[in-house]
Amino acid sequence: MSHHSLDLLDKKILQLISADARIPFLEVARICKVSSAAIHQRIQKLFNQGVLKGSRFILDPEKVGYETCAYVGLHLKDPSTSDKVAEALEKIPEVVECHVPTGNYDLFIKLYATNNRHLMDIIHDKLQPLGLSGSETIISFNALFDRQLSVEKVIAKEDVE
């Protein structure tokens, strides 16, 4: 994994846009006391380096009918197929995350279902055919918070003015 050296301006830009992804670049430029062109160039550089992966609107799953959030640990019959299984999982719209964990699972996923019956159907009809030897499901009753890595942690104490 490659780490990128971020200067104070990069960090300030990240702090501003992570707090409000819709902040106009002109406003970022004003706060940072640089030109709008400089902000555009810096943000493009951060994209090119992979520091920024994009911006998007975030749906509230429950408000659009997906009331069940579940984490599922997957045991594969053949663990060497994990890349192929991950590709298949990516095609299942209800699956929103897929991880390669330590421990007993070959893959660990997060998914949303409209209700518990729908969750059971996903596990039976969509996950089992992928070559599972078994799975363990944990249903989340409520997310107390959900956030990205704080940009404050990226900014070293000596960088703060």
Secondary structure (H, E, C), the chain: CCCCCCCHHHHHHHHHHHHCCCCCHHHHHHHHCCCHHHHHHHHHHHHHHCCCCCCCCCCCHHHHCCCEEEEEEEEECCHHHHHHHHHHHHCCCCEEEEECCCCCCCEEEEEEECCHHHHHHHHHHHHHHHCEEEEEEEEECCCCCCCCCCHHHHCCHHHCC
Count of beta carbons in the 10 Å neighbourhood of residue 7: 10
* Cα 68 to Cα 139: distance, rounded to the nearest angstrom: 7
Using pLDDT thresholds of 50, 70 and 90, give the confidence band for residue 5.
confident
Amino acid 42 reads: R
Query: Regarding predicted confidence, which is higher, 153 or 32?
Result: 32
What is this structure's pTM? 0.81
| Structure confidence by residue, pLDDT tens digits, 68-87 | 999 999 999 999 999 999 99
Mean predicted confidence (pLDDT) in 146-158:
68
pLDDT of residue 149: 80
> Please, what are the domains in the chain?
8-56 (1.10.10.10), 61-140 (3.30.70.920)
